[in-house]
Chains A and B, each alone.
Chain A
Amino acid sequence: MSTPTASSGRGGRFVRRIAGRLAGSEAVPGDTWDAVLLARHQDRPYPLDYIARLMPDFEELHGDRLKGDDPAIVAGIGRYHGAPLAVIGQQKGRDAQDRAYRNFGMPSPEGYRKGMRLMDLCERLEIPLVTLIDTPGAFPGADAEERGQGGAIARSMLMMLRLRVPTVAVIIGEGSSGGALALGVADRVVMLENATYSVISPEGASAILWRDASKAKLAAAAFKPTAANCYRWGVADAVVPEPEGGAHSAHDEAARLLDGYLSRTIRELQALPLAERRRQRRERFRRLGAMREATSA
């Protein structure tokens, strides 16, 4: 665990900007880019940091029982407020070696299949599921393609949609592309205050839409991927506050704030009848979108 004192001086500036965003003011490009950088801050807590604070008794599971284990996804079961809870999270590394080991948080099909293994366990043992999303996207590799990257993401979404247990998806850092959404089809989808959620990373969009790798800032401003905007669009159901200065400046406090939201939300979801919970989950994703109707069709 790092001690991010060096960066805490930037906190005041960030907080002011975040306050402006949450108040609904129109973001200027620099603001959005700051949000992207903050969501990717190397000292930001990752799933294992939250797990260590929220669930001292945690059993991590490894392997997809088909091919191997993907370190970009951690999955396991822990004791949470007197009951079992399952967690699937996208894990990045902090130093160069660890980053490479975690493949920069870009999951392979084995990672999603390990997650589905855990979802199956949740279903049989009636254990609620929390996913912690933080990825620049699923890994783009030839091997990953041949082992079914697309199908793994699609099946992970379908399996999450069908679960009979309560599910909460938390975007804790950067949620980019289908690689993030694979773990995001939950009863409640929430974002940490400084998290981002988008169809593609700003760098990817820059290369494709601007045909110029250096336009990531412009892309970020165009996508407006902040928590406040995602809440406004109905993509996020709630925004969980972070400690002053951002989650990277105080991991314990960040975990405490998330704990407050999670424990209450899981209780609320458990109080709903199963049929109602599933109806709401489907309806939540069924209605998302923006379109016009032709006047004379």
Chain B
Amino acid sequence: MSRRPISISIDRLRGKRPATGPARRLPGDERSCPHCQSHFRAEEMERNCYVCAVCDHHFGMTARQRLDHLAGGEPWEEIGGELRAADPLRFVDLEPYTERVRAAEAKGATEAMISAYLEIEGQPCVVSAMEFGFLGGSMGSVVGERFARAAEFAVARNVPLISVTSSGGARMQEGVLALMQMAKTIVALDELADARLPFVMVLAHPTTGGVWASFASLGDVTYAEPGALIAFSGPRVIEQTTHEKLPANFGLAERQFEHGHVDAVVDRRELPARLGRLLGILEQPPRDESQSLASQLAQNGSERAARMAQALPSLSRRLRGRPADATYHPSRGHSGS
């Protein structure tokens, strides 16, 4: 992949930084690098995996772009794509939560995470990729559920789970139910661990709050993209609470590597190859059939049926107490659908 500058803005050639006023409007999908002001056309951005060809700054990516990139342009199969946010608290801050959701959906994404079954460099796996553009990538009930279904799908297909995070943390507008999604992702990872399947984390900018304090911290192998902010409390909150002066590189991937919280900082352009190699290393040779998959899956199946039966009596009680505009999903076993 070429690192030769593809296009450089006139301002940069003249050594001028753009005025700090309102950002210059760029035609169409063109983007300008916030670090070096280089200016790229949409197709140049895509060709270079949304990385600045001049200074290697990693731009944000939508979940779809991320999945396309990891799948090498091949199609992927979405898991739990029918799920949409509800408003259990009928929450209103500066505007109603339902309006925020509607505005976010109007931009094209259906939620802050897409889970999909795909192949990375020929290795089948499930990937849960987050969408920062959808309400700051915040984790509400749908994100928790899509993550859990991704893990269950991975168990059903006996393939590894990969997650690419980009999130400000829990979705406050869903209140304590958003908090509970942290625990839900932990349950999902425990089921993955029971099936002896690996979980690989890719921390993209930013990974903070309840996402970092739940599944994003629990990768068997954890990669981070260059310059990604990774923190439980963001720099602003820390400075306000403790009045500490933080170093400029606080919480950034490179510093998190120094402190032992990530295994490697990986350039996005090398990520598919790196993940493909890792999945290849982790692949188990075929096992003795007597104690393998078939018997395990049979066991899982009966356990799942018991779980669903268990959920039935509690259903009516839960529905009675629900807010009028929300639909609860106490049942499970949708994986694979």
Q: Is the CB of A288 within 8 A of B189?
A: no
Which residues of chain A are near B145, meaning CB under 8 Å?
289, 291
Q: Is the CB of B232 within 8 A of A145?
A: yes
Docked pose: A161 CA to B327 CA in angstroms: 26
Cβ-neighbour of B182 out of A142, A178, A223 (below 8 A): A178
Q: B176 at the A/B interface (Cβ < 8 Å)?
A: yes
Q: Is the CB of B179 within 8 A of A181?
A: yes
Q: A245 at the A/B interface (Cβ < 8 Å)?
A: no
Known: A233-B176, A291-B85. A153 touches B141 (CB 8 A): no
Q: A84 at the A/B interface (Cβ < 8 Å)?
A: no
Which residues of chain B are near A146, meaning CB under 8 Å?
259
Q: A50 at the A/B interface (Cβ < 8 Å)?
A: no
Cβ-neighbour of B241 out of A140, A285, A297 (below 8 A): A140
Q: Is the CB of A294 within 8 A of B172?
A: no
Most buried by B among A141, A208, A223, A289: A289
Q: B231 at the A/B interface (Cβ < 8 Å)?
A: yes
Q: Is the CB of A154 within 8 A of B218?
A: yes
Which residues of chain A are near B89, meaning CB under 8 Å?
222-224
The A contact surface, by secondary structure, is helix
Which residues of chain B are near A151, meaning CB under 8 Å?
213, 217-218, 261
Which residues of chain B are near A199, meaning CB under 8 Å?
170-172, 174-176, 178-179, 210
Which residues of chain B are near A218, meaning CB under 8 Å?
93
Q: Is the CB of B84 within 8 A of A138?
A: no
Q: A46 at the A/B interface (Cβ < 8 Å)?
A: no
Known: A154-B186, A161-B187. A293 touches B83 (CB 8 A): yes
Q: A167 at the A/B interface (Cβ < 8 Å)?
A: no
Cβ-neighbour of A145 out of B141, B183, B251 (below 8 A): B251
Which residues of chain A are near B218, meaning CB under 8 Å?
151, 154-155, 158
Please classify how large the interface on chain B is, using the bins under 10, 10 to 19, 20 to 34, 35 or more: 35 or more
Q: B276 at the A/B interface (Cβ < 8 Å)?
A: no
Which residues of chain B are near A207, meaning CB under 8 Å?
240
Docked pose: A218 CA to B94 CA in angstroms: 11
Q: A41 at the A/B interface (Cβ < 8 Å)?
A: no
Known: A157-B182, A230-B176, A290-B328. A140 touches B213 (CB 8 A): no
Q: B157 at the A/B interface (Cβ < 8 Å)?
A: no
Nearest B residue (CB) for A213:
B240
Q: Is the CB of A291 within 8 A of B175?
A: no
Nearest A residue (CB) for B320:
A232
Nearest chain A CB to B243's CB is how many angstroms away?
11
Docked pose: A210 CA to B91 CA in angstroms: 13
Q: B2 at the A/B interface (Cβ < 8 Å)?
A: no
Additional A-B contacts beyond A287-B311, A287-B329, A294-B82 (5; CB < 8 A): A154-B215, A222-B91, A222-B175, A290-B177, A292-B327
> Which residues of A come within 8 Å of B, CB atoms?
138, 140-142, 144-146, 148-151, 153-155, 157-158, 161-162, 177-178, 181-182, 184-185, 197-200, 204-205, 207-211, 218-219, 222-225, 230, 232-235, 279-280, 282-283, 285-294, 297
Can you show 25 pairs from A to B with CB atoms below 8 A apart?
A153-B214, A154-B217, A157-B183, A158-B186, A161-B186, A161-B187, A177-B210, A178-B210, A178-B213, A199-B171, A199-B178, A205-B172, A222-B89, A222-B92, A223-B176, A234-B330, A288-B141, A288-B180, A290-B322, A291-B142, A291-B145, A291-B326, A292-B85, A293-B327, A294-B83
Question: Which 3 residue pairs spanning A and B have beta carbons closest together?
Answer: A297-B82, A289-B141, A140-B233
